[in-house]
């Protein structure tokens, strides 16, 4: 029996964070959104970044908040780059869907041992379980970051071997399919699967199959150090915090993009990028009101009769969220350059959207 997570619980917030501290015990009580405009909510919580939220074809908000670079006092912009963290996972999942379209995989129920005969317990873990965080594969993040801090050079292949060693030494965290636990390892493996099956580098495959057809010319693999001419500076508690070894979040959180490109991607997913048959496999269904569930690369949150599909991301200096609400033809893109370890800002915004803006 898999588990659902009650919406707005601090546990849920922690599970969607990528490469930020999970040990904080700060108060994550949500602000009362009140009956006010979304712009006022964003201003009130100190949101720093660029926000695009539309409803029935009209903008609720489309503007920047705070500075893209505090030293130069340059404004936020919809054509500037932001690290998107785990929103990358929506692209990785879509790339795997594309593999199936191209006939390179036959089913999301294929098991990992078909692609790597030496993967521990690979005969028990399906592609669908990878993409929906049901694999039981242990998390690699802290170990990889620790090795990097000790001066070791890591790439995705090294990390993949590390993940296999973790399973050989300690086993899986749970029996595949019996639980759901957010884990970046799933998506690093999925991105490597894209490479192996397509015969193309992962980022090139995403470029050719997703970015080029949609005209997303400002989305790319993030660099360890940002280009301050085209990319906003990230901050933590007001101090610059943009450096990160981008090989570590391979396929799980390594893209940078612009608000404009993320709007294009979200609108494509909202409309016709996936076929109806694909949508039935990708988006979690029958989610009770007040709960969130994992699909293949997307979360489904249900609040009353309103359904929101979304994904968030966090990485040094940045947080992000994209999503859509079909009932209101709504598109949501929030890219922030002020790290929020507790996820309080994202939860406050989601609560306002589901209980006020789209109610």
Within-domain flag for 244: yes
Q: How many domains does the chain have?
A: 1
Residue 16 lies in a domain: no
Q: Is 70 a member of any domain? A: yes
CATH number at residue 247: 3.40.710.10
What pLDDT score was predicted for residue 284? 96
pLDDT score at 25: 29
Residue 350 located in a structural domain: yes
DSSP E strands in the chain: the ranges are: 5-6, 49-55, 58-65, 67-69, 74-75, 82-83, 220-221, 235-236, 239-240, 255-257, 291-294, 299-303, 306-315, 318-325, 330-336
Any domain includes 209: yes
- Domain of 54 in residue numbering reads as 47-356
Please report whether residue 9 resides in a domain.
Answer: no
Condensed to tens digits (0 to 9), the pLDDT of residues 182-196 reads 999 999 999 999 999
pLDDT at residue 35 tops 90: no
User: pLDDT for 255-268, tens place per residue?
Assistant: 999 999 999 999 99
Question: Is 60 exceeded by the pLDDT of residue 340?
Answer: yes
Q: What percent of the chain has pLDDT over 70?
A: 90
Could you count the other beta carbons within 10 Å of the beta carbon of residue 30? 14
In a domain, 148, yes or no: yes
pTM summary value: 0.92
Q: Kindly state whether residue 39 falls inside one of the protein's structural domains.
A: no
Chain-wide mean pLDDT for the chain?
91
């Amino acid at each position: 029996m898999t588990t659902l997570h009650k919406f707005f619980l601090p546990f849920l917030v922690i599970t969607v964070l990528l490469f930020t501290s999970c040990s904080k015990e700060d108060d994550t009580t949500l602000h009362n959104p009140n009956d006010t405009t979304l712009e006022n909510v964003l201003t009130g919580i100190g949101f720093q970044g660029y926000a695009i939220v539309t409803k029935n074809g009209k903008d609720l908000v489309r503007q920047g908040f705070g500075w893209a670079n505090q030293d130069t006092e340059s404004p936020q912009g919809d054509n500037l780059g932001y690290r998107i963290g785990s929103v990358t996972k929506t692209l990785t999942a879509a790339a795997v869907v594309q593999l199936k379209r191209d006939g390179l995989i036959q089913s999301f129920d294929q098991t990992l041992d078909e692609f790597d005969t030496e993967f521990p317990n690979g005969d028990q873990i399906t592609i669908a379980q990878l993409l929906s965080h049901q694999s039981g594969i242990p998390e690699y993040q802290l170990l990889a970051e620790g090795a990097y801090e000790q001066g070791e050079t890591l790439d995705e292949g090294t990390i993949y071997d590390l993940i296999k060693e973790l399973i050989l030494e300690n086993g899986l965290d749970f029996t595949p399919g019996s639980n759901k636990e957010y884990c970046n390892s799933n998506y690093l493996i999925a991105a490597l699967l894209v490479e192996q099956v397509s015969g193309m580098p992962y980022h090139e495959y995403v470029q050719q199959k997703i970015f080029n057809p949609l005209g997303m010319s400002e989305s790319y693999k993030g660099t360890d150090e940002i280009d301050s001419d085209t990319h906003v500076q990230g901050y933590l508690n007001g101090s610059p915090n943009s450096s990160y070894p981008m090989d570590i979040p391979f396929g799980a959180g390594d893209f940078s993009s612009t608000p404009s490109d993320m709007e294009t991607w979200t609108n494509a997913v909202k409309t016709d990028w996936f076929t109806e048959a694909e949508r039935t496999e990708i988006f979690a269904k029958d989610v009770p009101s007040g709960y969130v569930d994992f699909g293949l690369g997307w979360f489904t949150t249900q609040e009353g009769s309103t359904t929101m599909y979304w994904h968030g991301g966090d990485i040094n200096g940045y947080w992000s969220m994209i999503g859509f609400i079909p009932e209101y033809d709504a598109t949501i893109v929030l890219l922030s350059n002020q790290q929020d370890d507790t996820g309080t800002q994202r939860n406050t915004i989601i609560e306002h959207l589901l209980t006020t803006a789209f109610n």
